[in-house]
Structure formats: structure tokens, C-alpha cells
Amino acid sequence: MELASTVYTIDQLHKAEIDWSLPQVALAGRSNVGKSSCLNCLGNRKNLARTSATPGKTQSVNFFRIRFPGEDAAFHLVDLPGYGYARRSKSERDKWAALMEAYLSGARRPRTVVILVDGRHPPQQLDVDLVDYCRAAGLDWLLVCTKADKCSQKDKTARLHEWREVAPDMLLQDRTGPLFFSSVTRQGRDALWRKLREAAGVPESVPAAMPEPAPGTAHQSS
């Protein structure tokens, strides 16, 4: 996994030398929900994407190129700046909204938006708005509940019910409900990788069928 491009403005988005032939899967969610930490956990790296306890750390759209050892297929995992950080000025929020709109509705938009929400809290209006936006824009989306290490079983059950209520269409994509993920314990990491690959259209290769035993070597029962 490597940082391929960083984009701060709509102008840069149009001019950036990004390999647009690769599928893109974007990580979106409120500031501080753990998008950049999730990316670092996926990539087994500490500081590939910059994280911070102060919300509003990621201010740019960051394209990370993913390629698996021994495979030709590649895709971009895209770390997005978060929304809902109250201490941002109106002009900063407007700039964020314009950049998101340009990216998510442009011709080079992502295939799938992974919507990260904090597993400790019920659905927030801004998260539901993003789900609605994806629906209206015809973008595939999937839900990931972050900070699972801080979620009790009660939290998890509650989230499952609440999100099924808010987004019953989630069941079409995701029969088991939201995925719980922790970048601290790495819970859900393998499952998330599988989902990301599926979303990018580069599913894990199915192991080849077991080779036929060579003649004469088959076990003979006596």
C-alpha cells in the first residue's frame, strides 16, 4: 500500500496524475471516527495516513494504491477528510462540501463508499445524510462501526437494530449488518479486507481445485 496522490482542491482533483483506470473505494465518516487509523491498520503501518486525537486531521483526499503480492489487480483506497467537526468555520465546511461533491458525483467517482460510524453511538444525522446522499447518487455503500474495542455487546446489538431501522436496504448488501472494526485490536480487519476487495471488484482468488491424485497414489482401502 502506498500513497499515490493527495488532493486539497477541486482544481487539484481534476489535474492530479491519478491512475483513474483503477477502481476506487473511499473511506468516509465523521471527523475522529477512525478513518485514517483504519487505513493504517489495514496496511500494517503506523503512519501511512496521518491520525490525531484532535478531529479534523485529514484535510485532503488521499489516494492509496493497493496491490496484493503476486496479483496484477490493483485499486485505490481513498482516505477522505471527515465531516461534522463543529469547530470548523463555515468557509472550511463549504470547501469540504464542495470537494466531496466534486469527488463523489464526478465522472471519476468511487465505486463504493465505506461509511465509518462510531460503534459506541446511535446513528447520527450527518451519517444518515451520507447514506441518503450515496443512495441518491447511486453509489454503493457499506457500513463499518469503528472503535469496536470500546463497544459492549449491548452497544453492538443496539447498533444492529438501529441501523437496520434507518437503512433497511443495508440488508441487501450486507445480510449480517454492519461490520465491527477496531484498529486497536484489529478485530474485523480480515473481514474488512474481503469486503474492500469485493467492493473494488478484485475478490480474493478462489483456490484452485485440489489436483487429482496421480495414478497409483490414491489411497486404497483394504
Ligand X SMILES: Nc1nc2c(ncn2[C@@H]2O[C@H](COP(=O)(O)OP(=O)(O)OP(=O)(O)O)[C@@H](O)[C@H]2O)c(=O)[nH]1
Distance set, CA 152 to CA 12, 36, 51, 216 (Å): 42, 23, 24, 56
116 strand-pairing partners: 29, 144
Segment near Mg ion (CB under 5 A); pick from 14-22, 30-38, 97-105, 126-134: 30-38
Task: Tell me if 24 contacts ligand X by CB under 6 A.
Answer: no
Phi–psi pair at 152, nearest 5 degrees: -80, 170
What distance lies between CA 17 and its chain's CA centroid? Answer: 22
Please name which of 87, 80, 107 lies closest in space to residue 14, comparing C-alpha atoms: 107
Sole binder of ligand X in the list 28, 56, 100, 196 (CB under 6 A) = 56
Q: Which does 183 bind (CB under 5 to 8 A by kind): Mg ion, ligand X, none?
A: ligand X
Task: Tell me if 62 contacts Mg ion by CB under 5 A.
Answer: no
Residue nearest to Mg ion (CB): 58
Pick between residue 41 and residue 200 the one whose CB is nearest to ligand X.
Answer: 41
Query: CB within 8 A of 120, min separation 6: which ones?
Result: 147, 150, 151, 155
- Site map 68..97 versus ligand X, x via CB under 6 A: -------------xx---------------
Sole binder of Mg ion in the list 40, 58, 112, 183 (CB under 5 A) = 58
Task: Tell me if 36 contacts ligand X by CB under 6 A.
Answer: yes
Report CA Rg, the chain.
Answer: 20
Beta carbon of residue 134, minimum distance to ligand X (angstroms, whole number): 18
Segment near ligand X (CB under 6 A); pick from 102-110, 146-154, 192-200, 210-218: 146-154
Instruction: List the strands of the sheet with 24-29, edge to edge.
Output: 2-7, 61-67, 74-79, 24-29, 112-118, 140-146, 179-180
User: Which parts of this chain interact with ligand X (CB under 6 A)?
Assistant: 29, 31-37, 51-53, 55-58, 81-82, 146-147, 149-150, 182-184
